[in-house]
Amino acid sequence: MERELDWLKGDMLGEDEMRRGAARSLGVPFVILSREDISPDALTLIPEPLSRAHTIVAYRAEDGTVEVALLDIADLEKIDFLKLKTKPRLTNRESVKLALLQYQKILKEKFAALSQRGVEAADSLLSHALQSNATHVHLEPAAAGMLVRYRIRGALVEAMRLPQEVGEKINAHFKSLAKLFPVSTAFQEGRFKVSPPAQAGHNDEPVSVQVRTVPGVRGEKLHLRLAREKQGQTGYTLESLGLHGGQLERLHEFLDKREGLLLACGPRGSGKTTTLYTLLDLLNSPHLSIATIENSIEFHLPLAAQTRVRPEIGLTIDAGLRALLRTDHDVVMVGDVNSRDTVALMQAAAKRGVFMLGATEDSSLVEGADCVINGRLVKKLCQHCKAAYTLLRDELEMFETGAGPDASVGANFGKVLAALKEEDAVSQEKQWKDLQFYKPAGCEKCDNGYKGYVGLQEVIVAGESGLNVIEEGLFKAAQGLTSVEEAAKVAQE
């Protein structure tokens, strides 16, 4: 057995001979990279951590086509998602090693020049991570210097090692951007937003970066989570639906895990379906198999298998769901969840590893869900004619004491003010009496002072939640997006 493995490794035949043979039989050229000019621009088309993980190297780019050298032709599909037009060539290990060294050289040159300036080094690191399609960046003190690792498609890979002082400057800069204390032994969490330069496939979608500090024996670790505010087929982003701050973080974190049962809950017309489609859009990739079962198909999702229920032929939600679950899907969305039986089916599927999403109008059904998005829509103030005012005495009393004429209002006003400050929507010293609110007026551009709608969402994961929908309404009233009256309507439902 061992002899056989040795032979497979190429020890008897010689690695080059073996790969040359494979190249011949596939009709693909064989290249030795030490004899080719490796173009630095081509090299960086495939992010280094991916090159390393899949031993695949882009070494020349001409007229939109990239020549890539790899050890195993089957690995080509692992970079499908980069959407490069490629001409594959087989190569040997020596060649891949050489190319990986080139990467290190390019990175070193880039970072050495920047080592004096923490700001630019941090910017470069961030754009390198984004180019590499990383969702997380881990900066950890190591035996010598700072170890930087990226999470790419779920796997944590080493990206580079930086000299200690450069690493410290980068950390300090990220912490100042996220408004964290420079020195602290406690866990801290903050966030900031960046607009990376336009790059292939990503336009210039803003990226929200969540920063967490983790105290460790060798020193503090920094964990960054990068979330593109991606706009997909539906034309919506989670931000444009009204999600922000802690709610958005919680939701992204849940989506990253891609497991469990998520239910969007709210009355008819509260944006549940749009929310679910936006989530599917975020998940949509050639590597995942997504299926939906719906009463009516409102959006067409490329790459997803969408089924419409037809009760007249016995294709009910539950029947469709049972059929779907017999096939092999990674993600299944149910448009209308309206019975305990459906929830039970979905829970069972989630336990078997299918990521289940659904929408329901019945709030009593969300009990078994791992993530609940409770949503409402309120009217959006017309930005052309809204009239500013500060809170009236009785409104103020209610806001400040948390108990007004209607103590059952279900909102914690202190929590709303704290959230406004945390997200920099108002400055730290402000009190309710200082805040500007707006009333509808009316102009030729709107309907009695309102135009369109704004979403209010509460995201509950494992019992943990942020602002509830009423508090969200007040948050958005303080941002001038809606009026206090509209927010109050949610409380009266």
Q: How far is the CB of 452 from Zn ion (least distance, A)?
A: 11
Q: How far is the CB of 383 from Zn ion (least distance, A)?
A: 8
Who contacts 137 (Cβ-Cβ below 8 Å, separation ≥6)?
125, 126, 129, 148, 149, 150, 151, 159, 223, 224, 226
Which bin fits 234, alpha (ψ -120 to 50), beta or left (φ > 0)? alpha
Burial (CB count within 10 angstroms: exposed 0-12, middle 13-18, buried 19+), residue 128: buried
C-beta closer to Zn ion: residue 199 or 448: 448
For residue 391, the 8-state DSSP code is P
Q: How far is the CB of 488 from Zn ion (least distance, A)?
A: 21
Q: How far is the CB of 485 from Zn ion (least distance, A)?
A: 16
C-beta closer to Zn ion: residue 19 or 380: 380
Q: How far is the CB of 386 from Zn ion (least distance, A)?
A: 7
Residue 448: strand pairing partners: none
Residues found near Zn ion in the complex (CB under 5 A): 382, 384-385, 443, 445-446
Quote the CA–CA distance of 171 and 122 in Å, as a whole number: 8
Q: How far is the CB of 477 from Zn ion (least distance, A)?
A: 17
β-strand pairing of 85-90 with 134-141: unpaired
C-beta closer to Zn ion: residue 320 or 449: 449
Quote the CA–CA distance of 222 and 458 in Å, as a whole number: 28
Q: How far is the CB of 483 from Zn ion (least distance, A)?
A: 13
Q: How far is the CB of 480 from Zn ion (least distance, A)?
A: 13
- Is the CB of residue 386 less than 8 Å from the CB of residue 440? yes
3-state secondary structure (DSSP) of residue 374: strand
C-beta closer to Zn ion: residue 151 or 379: 379
CA 46 to chain centre: 21
C-beta closer to Zn ion: residue 432 or 438: 438
Residue type, 454: V
Structure token digits, residue 153: 């498609």
C-beta closer to Zn ion: residue 279 or 477: 477
C-beta closer to Zn ion: residue 310 or 384: 384
CA 79 to chain centre: 20
Total count of residues recorded for the chain? 493
Residue 191: strand pairing partners: 210
Which bin fits 210, alpha (ψ -120 to 50), beta or left (φ > 0)? beta
C-beta closer to Zn ion: residue 308 or 384: 384
Structure token digits, residue 134: 């990383």
Q: How far is the CB of 239 from Zn ion (least distance, A)?
A: 24
C-beta closer to Zn ion: residue 28 or 441: 441
Question: Which residue, 126, 125, 315, is CA-closest to 207?
Answer: 126
Structure token digits, residue 171: 């950390």
